[in-house]
């Protein structure tokens, strides 16, 4: 077995709602090998998105340890977390969240450019990634000129610009019609090989869940390996 | 490892990408409320700069006019009170000093002058040798007299300020009488009196001089039974800024009783001018404060609208510092564009303010004349901004100083940047995840 790229031990995350304390993750353990696709399923409110946010360092956790690509997240300060997000993870959200003032190409290139890539290199890599997601001909269109599926594919290309070892996708097909979902499913399936990355996918979509090498069910604050 | 990453992170916080993003947000081709707000902010700053440049230049113009008149006449650059026996040698030595432009020995007293119809006025009387006055070209120029006319006038009588002449009811050729007094511990109060015809009237443009200065030949002191005051050497330098250095060098020379530079001699007057300038600068700077407050609230709205974009940038690893830098750059762009526009428009206006105002008045005058001829207006009003019946000035002087422009531009650039930074500070602790969830 390869060294896990993600390893969570004894992870606890609670939310307080008045006097009530919700145990979203309750001494949860999780581990994932490099280069795999992992799908996480679970009922609404079970904490799937929260877990993804913890892996991406957008959310802090109460206790336990989270090691992602060698980074011990519980030890990092805000500055180091920015570096971690820039270098280790790429996000794909349920909504595309593209910057409306920038074209598709610029949206993809910008995180790379901000991370220190020379402008020409960032734009070249962004063009290659738009090619990968089949949108090279739409590079200079603004998000408002793209369809929902196209915007989401641009978002995937953007997540890959810094060549992150891990891509975190939170319900990426949640807002798409059946045809667009199918296109995206196909794209996500070949992502680890094409982009040499590991994909953690949170979804309700049972069709999409089948692309995973491993699948977990998050229920009652614990992960249960179902495949 | 984290420390190394931090160092690399700081290295990677390059300004060019942040500047590009700020530029794109400010100059996006899509017309947005944010962009319109920034344009109005830049125009507001430009208007503030134009106002400040024009106001400061006109104020400088008036001040320099007074200062130049003073320095070239009664103040000189250096005033040396010397023992009478040392005056010729000191004068000779100073005239050979390469820093010195002219040396004018004179005696200075205050006298009560009386005109032909018994009108009286207090005059500051300078007793100067005709040739000494003629050799001080700056003095003659300040009085708007040629050196030859000044020398000839002094040989034949008194050079009198035009306003003093008006107060005394005197004019050229009319004799005026001047009476003074000396207080001595031994002799008590001693009066002296001299009279001379007015040979020339002068008008320097500075009311205090024109209403209070008279110049009479120093040779006339020989006709008095007592010397009215000790001799002063009025020294002018090629560069007035070297006055303090020369004062320091001369202070231990033999025969000098006291010596002071133009800064010391006019200290209270210059302090008043400086205070006036600072207060005016601060008052007009309120324009920038108003613009900055506008920018601040406009940016707060913008940042609230851009919260999602900021959360995305943050999610992809852009540090809070970089995001705040983007907004600072936006503020700086507004400030720089506004400052550049204001300077480009403000300097030509300041340089030609007299012509512009006279042109506008002439235009209005023409319109009023036309209306009068057409029978619409009943009279033609006096539209002159500085009517000679009220103001003692013939035009609006203007002097532009680079230091003033630099200070104004710095204010214009810094104010919006601070305003934008303060607007962003309210949002910097927002969690990107919370923002994205709320979307």
What chain A holds in terms of domains, given with CATH numbers, is 34-62+75-225 (3.40.50.300)
Nearest CB neighbour to B433, from listed A58, A116, A162: A58
Is residue B396 a contact partner of residue B353, using CB atoms and an 8 Å limit?
yes
Mutate which of A47, A97, A144 to test chain B, going by most B C-beta atoms within 10 A? A97
Measured between alpha carbons, how far is residue B371 from residues A89, B364, B436 in Å? 78, 10, 67
ipTM for the whole complex: 0.84
End-to-end CA distance of chain B: 35
Q: Is A158 on the interface with B (CB under 8 A)?
A: yes
Q: Is A12 on the interface with B (CB under 8 A)?
A: no
pLDDT digit string (tens) for chain B, length 439 residues:
444 544 444 444 567 777 777 777 766 655 666 677 778 878 888 888 898 899 889 988 888 888 888 888 888 999 999 888 888 889 999 999 999 999 999 998 888 999 888 889 999 999 999 999 999 999 999 999 999 999 999 999 999 999 999 999 999 999 999 888 877 777 778 888 888 899 999 988 888 889 999 999 988 776 766 666 788 999 999 998 889 899 998 888 888 888 999 888 888 888 888 898 888 888 877 877 887 787 788 778 777 777 888 888 888 888 888 888 887 887 788 888 888 999 999 999 999 988 998 888 888 888 888 888 888 877 777 766 666 655 666 678 899 999 889 988 888 888 888 888 888 877 777 777 777 777 6
Calculate the CA A206 to chain-centre distance.
18
Contact: B5, A83; criterion CB under 8 Å:
yes
Three-state SS annotation for B133-194: HHHCHHHHHHCCCCHHHHHHHHHHCEEEEHHHHHHHCCCCCCEEEEEEEEEECCCEEEEEEE
- Chain B: residue whose CA lies nearest to A144: B30
How do residues A138-180 score in pLDDT, each as one tens digit?
A: 999 999 999 989 999 999 999 999 999 999 999 888 878 888 8
DSSP-derived 3-state class of residue A192: helix
- Where would I find the H helices in B170-266? 207-212, 243-250, 262-265
Query: What pLDDT score was predicted for residue B384?
Result: 65
Looking at CA atoms only, how far is residue B439 from chain A in angstroms? 9
Q: Is A164 on the interface with B (CB under 8 A)?
A: no
| Max Cα distance, chain B (Å) | 102
- Dihedral sign for Cα atoms in the order B196, B201, B206, B207: positive
Q: Is A185 on the interface with B (CB under 8 A)?
A: no
Is residue B305 a contact partner of residue B34, using CB atoms and an 8 Å limit?
yes
Q: In chain B, which residues have their Cβ closer than 8 Å to the Cβ of A79? A: 6, 9, 319
Element (H, E) at B120: strand B120-128
Query: What pLDDT score was predicted for residue B227?
Result: 66
Least Cα distance to B132 among B110, B153, B149, B147 occurs for B147
Q: Is A48 on the interface with B (CB under 8 A)?
A: no
Q: In chain B, which residues have their Cβ closer than 8 Å to the Cβ of A158? A: 316
Mutate which of A100, A114, A174 to test chain B, going by most B C-beta atoms within 10 A? A114
Q: Is B35 on the interface with A (CB under 8 A)?
A: no
Nearest CB neighbour to A58, from listed B8, B315, B322: B315
End-to-end CA distance of chain A: 16
Low-confidence ranges of chain A (pLDDT < 50): none
Contact: A75, B2; criterion CB under 8 Å:
yes
Query: What pLDDT score was predicted for residue B437?
Result: 74
Mutate which of B308, B317, B322, B434 to test chain A, going by most A C-beta atoms within 10 A? B317
Query: CB atoms < 10 A from the CB of B225, how many?
Result: 6
Q: Is B12 on the interface with A (CB under 8 A)?
A: yes
Nearest CB neighbour to B433, from listed A53, A77, A79: A53
Q: In chain A, which residues have their Cβ closer than 8 Å to the Cβ of B33? A: none
């Amino acid at each position: 077995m390869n060294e896990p790229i993600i390893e969570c031990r004894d992870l606890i995350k609670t939310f307080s709602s008045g006097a009530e304390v919700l145990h979203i993750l309750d001494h949860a353990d999780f581990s994932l090998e490099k280069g795999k696709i992992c799908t996480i399923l679970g009922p609404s409110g079970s904490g799937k998105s929260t877990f993804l946010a913890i892996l991406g360092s957008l959310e802090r956790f109460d206790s336990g340890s989270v090691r992602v690509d060698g980074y011990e997240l519980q030890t990092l300060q805000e500055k180091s977390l920015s570096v971690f997000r820039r270098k280790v993870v790429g996000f794909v959200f349920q909504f595309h969240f593209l910057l409306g003032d920038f074209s598709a190409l610029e949206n993809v290139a910008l995180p790379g450019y901000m991370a220190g890539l020379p402008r020409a290199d960032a734009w070249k890599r962004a063009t290659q990634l738009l090619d990968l997601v089949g949108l090279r001909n739409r590079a200079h269109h603004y998000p408002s000129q793209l369809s929902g599926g196209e915007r989401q594919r641009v978002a995937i290309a953007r997540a890959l610009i810094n060549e992150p070892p891990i891509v975190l996708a939170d319900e990426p097909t949640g807002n798409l019609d059946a045809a667009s979902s199918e296109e995206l499913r196909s794209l996500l399936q070949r992502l680890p090989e094409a982009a040499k990355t590991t994909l953690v996918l949170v979804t309700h979509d049972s069709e999409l869940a089948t692309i995973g090498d491993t699948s977990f069910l998050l229920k009652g604050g614990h992960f249960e390996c179902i495949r | 490892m984290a420390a190394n990453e931090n160092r690399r992170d700081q290295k990677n916080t390059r300004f060019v990408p942040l500047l590009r993003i700020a530029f794109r947000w400010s100059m996006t081709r899509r017309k947005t409320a944010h962009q319109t707000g920034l344009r109005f902010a830049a125009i507001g700053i430009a208007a503030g700069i134009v106002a400040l440049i024009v106001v400061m230049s006109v104020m400088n113009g008036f001040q320099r006019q007074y200062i130049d008149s003073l320095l070239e006449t009664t103040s000189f650059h250096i005033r040396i009170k010397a023992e009478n026996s040392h005056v010729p040698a000191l004068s000779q030595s100073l005239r050979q000093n390469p820093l010195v432009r002219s040396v004018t020995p004179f005696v200075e007293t205050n006298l009560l002058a009386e005109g032909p119809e018994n009108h009286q006025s207090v005059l500051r009387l300078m007793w100067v040798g005709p040739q000494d006055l003629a050799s001080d070209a700056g003095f003659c120029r300040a009085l708007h007299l040629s050196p030859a006319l000044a020398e000839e006038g002094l040989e034949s009588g008194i050079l009198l300020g035009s306003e003093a002449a008006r107060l005394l009811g005197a004019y050229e050729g009319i004799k005026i009488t001047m009476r003074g007094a000396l207080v001595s511990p031994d002799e008590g109060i001693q009066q002296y009196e001299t009279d001379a015809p007015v040979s020339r009237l002068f008008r320097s443009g500075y009311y205090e001089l024109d209403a209070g200065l008279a110049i009479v030949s120093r040779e006339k002191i020989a006709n008095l039974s007592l010397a009215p005051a000790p001799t002063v050497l009025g020294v002018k330098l090629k560069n007035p800024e070297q006055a303090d250095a020369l004062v320091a060098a001369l202070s231990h020379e033999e025969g000098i009783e006291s010596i002071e530079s133009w800064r010391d001699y006019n200290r209270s007057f210059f302090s008043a001018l400086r205070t006036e300038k600072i207060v005016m600068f601060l008052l007009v700077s309120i324009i920038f404060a108003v613009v900055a407050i506008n920018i601040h609230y406009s940016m707060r709205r913008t940042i609230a609208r851009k919260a999602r974009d900021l959360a995305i940038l943050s999610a992809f690893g852009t540090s809070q510092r970089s995001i705040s830098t983007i907004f600072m750059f936006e503020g700086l762009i507004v400030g720089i564009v506004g400052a550049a526009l204001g300077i480009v428009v403000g300097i030509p206006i300041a340089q030609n303010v007299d012509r512009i105002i006279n042109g506008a008045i002439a235009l209005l005058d023409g319109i009023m004349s036309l209306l009068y001829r057409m029978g619409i207006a009943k009279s033609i009003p006096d539209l002159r901004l500085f009517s000679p019946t009220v103001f003692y000035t013939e035009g609006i002087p203007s002097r532009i100083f680079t230091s003033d422009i630099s200070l104004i531009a710095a204010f214009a650039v810094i104010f919006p940047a601070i305003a934008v930074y303060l607007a962003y500070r309210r949002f910097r602790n927002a969690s990107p995840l919370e923002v994205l969830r709320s979307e």
